[in-house]
Amino acid sequence: MRNKAKLAGLAAGISFLALGSAQAVEIEYWQYVFDTRVQAMDQLIEKFEAANPDITVKQVTFPYADYQTRVVAAKVAGQGPDVVQLFYGWLDNFVNGELIQPLDPAVFPSAEIEADFFPIVSAMKRGDAYYGLPTAVRSLALFYNKALFTEAGLDPNNPPQNLVDFLAAAEATTKRDGGGNITSAGITLDMAGQDHHWWREVLIRQNGGVPYDEAGNVAYNDAAGAAALKYYTDLQTASKVGQVGFMDEGQAAFRAGLAAMTIDGTFRLGAFADNPFEWGVTELPADANGLRSNYSSYFANAIGSGAQGEELEAAQKFLAYITSPEAMEIWLNVVGELPARRDVALTEANLADPIRAPFLKGLEYAHTTKFYDEAGQRQVAIDMVNRVLLEGQSIEDSLAAAATAEQAIIDAATK
Amino acid sequence: MASDSITGGAAQGRLWDRFSIKTKRVIWAWTFLALPILFYAGIRFYPTLQAFWLSLTDWDLLRPANFIGLANYQKMFADPVFWKVFQNTFLYLVIGTPVSLVLSFVIAFYLDRVRFMHGFIRALYFLPFLTTAAAMGWVWRWFYQPVPIGVINGLLGSLGIEQQPFLRSTVQALPTVLVPAIWAGLGFQIIIFMAGLRAIPSTFYEAARIDGLGEWAILRKITIPLLKPTTVFLVVFSSIGFLRIFDQVYNMTTNDPGGPLNATKPLVLMIYQTAFSSYQMGYAAAQTVVLFSILLAVSLFQLWIMREKK
């Protein structure tokens, strides 16, 4: 049966070559399962196929937990995707594993990319070559529950803008039972969620440090890193306005209306849309000097290393389309993620939108961590906080241990 | 058709006829046995040997494997996380097996005497065994939450007892994960114990009672010794189960798998993460070899301890 199919394919190929006419090319697009992303991609494929009747695009999806394994396994089996979605932090793994190929600068000129996209796209550049382009980018913001704010006597239209007001708001909105246990948190504490980015790229910088030096090595094992970690763990140990593990996950606590504030990303907008209470979004709090920072990330689209000849051509066309302004508009409306091109993102309408504006402003001053092993580096941050909260280790010792562990991951990846 | 087989099989037939009936039986037996043996060799023994080989390489799925000798083992034995995980794995075994066996024996022993709604009660005990471990893990995970949603902490709170961190404690987390694992396996062990109890001839008990033996003496001298084959089976079976624990741990700690601070991480979860999060297939294979050796050693040791004394 397989052989017959192969023969048929071969015959079709030969006849195609002989005729030299444009016959349908099928390319595969891979991404992980996330309802709105799949829907948005279905719409994009439909529009793309209408404009390019000689190309069909097949969307293949896998659960997020399996996604990387599937891509790697498919490469081993020689059946990789033509266009593939990847988190920017996976790039080194994907490049080293020869899963993807660099973009042809004749089709995607570097100068144009750098002029049109937000500067964080440079995380997809290795040497002189870009390896992928995002459709949308993400940033963080502070979500707050307006009902809980009103209940606590705070102005629901004037959310905290700096760390002092932020802590005061958290204290005002925290509810406790007779035994002193939190029954509704002021702020969610969830290092496994987005908090490790907040600590790494925002709190450390606001305390006068940098998370990594120019060479990409750990640089937070100093007073700034310690102050940032202390600020974070004090939220649970000193001011008791949050508790790691409360309601299992930060986003679950917020959705259940049992947390007044949570730090999360644009990708959460869809999930929070039908929260049964009024909520708002504001920029991440600034420090006493007004310094703000943010963490931005994205999933990029790259061309699989297996795509050659006319499949490569089709893949390039498709990649160009899904990173076009039109595609970004669709993505913004369906998924809620921010367009990766500056002029599509920073429109007057978007900047006036109370939900989109804080994220867009965040993009202006955002940093993008260069991850080598995103899951491993996140685990280091989770363990660092747990050592302080659960084992009573000192801030300095826990920070030093985290720095050593994370540097070991970086060394292993760059050797 | 018929003449074909006669002429074609004539030469062979003569050879075949020369064998005695006994030899023929042996040949037939081996012919039939060859199939499962080949099957096992292909899908069990070959991959096992392959894993031994992989453990000596640095294979990462993407690049071809290089032979690196015992470097993976050196790395593993020098890694404090591995020893923590090693210790956890044995804790699951030494707490899980005795507790589950004693519990299931006591329940089976008394359930055997209950006539009222016997089938219904037995079904209730067996039900958790049929439930998916993942679903069960999640339900228990919510039970263990702090107030306001955690059922257990809510109960403790209403009794005026202090809140317990359960899964958020490096000390309590492992027993906390173990409870649903024991509970889930209980039904199966009870059924096996009850079958064992039913298999003991009632005449033994009658004779003992006529001789005036007390209940305790009957239990000690008749029931427990005669249950030995059942017990051996269950000890080996549940030990292997606890040494391979994964589902409950993974599902109850997905945000920080095996955490907090590796307090609940068993060897299987470490292997899973090494292989499918870090893609260090060679290193994962080395861990697998260790797990294999432990399973083999524990099984052989238990069989030796509980062997028939002649």
Inter-chain CB proximity B255 and A386 less than 8 Å: no
Tell me whether residues A391 and B157 touch, CB distance under 8 A.
no
The ipTM value here is 0.80
Separation CA B193–CA B188 (nearest Å): 9
Residue of B nearest to A190 (CA): B255
Residue B260: cis peptide before it, omega within 30 degrees of 0: yes
State the DSSP string of chain B: -HHHHHHHTHHHHHHHHHS-HHHHHHHHHHHHHHHHHHHHIIIIIHHHHHHHHHTTB---SSS---B-TTHHHHHHHT-HHHHHHHHHHHHHHHHHHHHHHHHHHHHHHHHTT--TTHHHHHHHHHHHHHS-HHHHHHHHHHHTSPTTT-HHHHHHHHTTPPP--GGG-TTTHHHHHHHHHHHHHHHHHHHHHHHHHHTS-HHHHHHHHHTT--HHHHIIIIIHHHTHHHHHHHHHHHHHHHHT--HHHHHHSTTSTT-STTSS--HHHHHHHHHHTS--HHHHHHHHHHHHHHHHHHHHHHHHHTPPP-
Q: What share of chain A is helix, strand, coil (3-state, %, to 5)?
A: 50, 20, 30
- Give the count of Cβ contacts less than 8 A between chain A and B: 73
Q: How far apart (Å, rounded) are the C-alpha atoms in residues B12 and A168? A: 96
Question: Nearest chain A Cα to B274, which residue?
Answer: A376
Per-residue tens of pLDDT for chain B, all 310 residues: 444 444 445 556 678 888 888 998 999 999 999 988 999 888 888 999 999 999 999 988 777 788 999 999 999 999 999 999 999 999 999 999 999 999 999 999 999 888 888 889 888 889 888 889 899 999 999 999 988 888 999 899 888 888 899 999 999 999 999 999 999 999 999 999 999 999 999 999 999 999 988 889 999 989 999 998 899 889 989 999 999 999 999 999 988 999 899 999 999 999 998 988 888 899 999 999 999 999 999 888 888 877 766 4
Quick check: A15 pLDDT over 70? no
Gap from A246 CA to chain B (nearest CA, Å):
7
Give the pLDDT confidence of B54-86 residue by residue, as tens digits.
Answer: 999 998 877 778 899 999 999 999 999 999 999
**Considering all CA atoms of chain A, what is the largest pairwise distance in Å, rounded to the nearest integer?**
83
Place of tokens 């004539």: B10
Cβ distance of B149 and A247 shorter than 8 Å = yes
Q: Residue B293 is encoded by which pair of tokens?
A: 């050796």
Using an 8 Å Cβ cutoff, are B248 and B303 in contact?
no
B164 touches chain A (CB under 8 A): no
What is the C-alpha to C-alpha distance for residues A342 and A117, in angstroms, rounded to an integer?
6
Would you place residue A20 in the very low, low, confident or very high pLDDT band (cuts 50, 70, 90)? Answer: very low
What span, in angstroms and rounded, lies between the C-alpha atoms of B93 and B99? Answer: 10
Which one of B84, B141, B277 makes the best mutation probe of the A interface by having the most chain A beta carbons within 10 Å? B277
Contact state of B256 with A183 under an 8 Å Cβ cutoff: no
The pLDDT of residue A204? 97
Tell me the shortest Cα–Cα distance from B129 to chain A, in angstroms. 26
Interface of B with A in 37-96 (CB under 8 A): 61-63
Determine, for residues A245 and B259 on separate chains, whether the beta-carbon distance falls below 8 Å: no
Q: What is the pTM of this model?
A: 0.83
Residues of B in contact with A76 (CB under 8 A): 61-62
Fill in the DSSP letter of residue A103. P
Q: Is A239 exposed, middle or buried (0-12, 13-18, 19+ CB in 10 A)?
A: middle
Amino acid letter, B52: F
Query: In Å, how far is A343's CA from the nearest CA of chain B?
Result: 37
Q: Tell me if chain B has a CB within 8 Å of the CB of A237.
A: no
- Please answer yes or no on whether A245 and B168 come within 8 Å at the CB atom: yes
Interface residue of B79, B81, B84, B256 to substitute, partner A, most A CBs within 10 Å: B256
Which residue type is seen at B229? Answer: P
Residues of A in contact with B170 (CB under 8 A): 386, 390-391
Q: Which residue has the tokens 């707050």?
A: A144
Is B145 in the A-facing interface, judged by CB distances under 8 Å?
Answer: yes
Cα distance between residue A189 and residue A239, in whole Å? 13
Would the pLDDT of A13 be above 50?
A: no
How near does any CA of chain B get to the CA of A247, in Å? 7
CB-CB under 8 Å, A98 with B62: yes
Cβ contact B146–A246 (<8 Å):
yes
pLDDT digits (tens, 9 = 90+) for A147-165: 999 999 999 999 999 999 9
- Residue A373: list chain B partners with CB under 8 A: 278
* Residue among A192, A258, A376 minimizing CB distance to B148: A258
From A259's Cα to the closest Cα of chain B, the distance in A is 12
- The residue in chain B having the minimum alpha-carbon distance to the alpha carbon of residue A373 is B278
- Map tokens 């998924």 to a residue: A335
SS3 A135: strand
CB of A391 within 8 Å of a chain B CB? The answer is yes
Chain-wide mean pLDDT for chain A? 90
Cβ within 8 Å, pair B261-A75:
no
* Predicted local confidence at residue A60, as pLDDT: 94
Are the C-beta atoms of residues A113 and A96 closer than 8 Å to each other?
no
Is A177 within 8 Å of chain B by CB?
yes
Whole-angstrom distance, CA of residue A299 vs CA of residue A137: 7
CB contact (8 A) between residue B167 and residue A245? yes
| Count of Cβ atoms closer than 10 Å to residue A238 Cβ | 11
Q: Is A379 on the interface with B (CB under 8 A)?
A: yes
Question: Which residues 89-128 in chain B show a CB within 8 A of chain A?
Answer: none
Residues of chain B neighbouring A97 (CB-CB closer than 8 A): 61-63
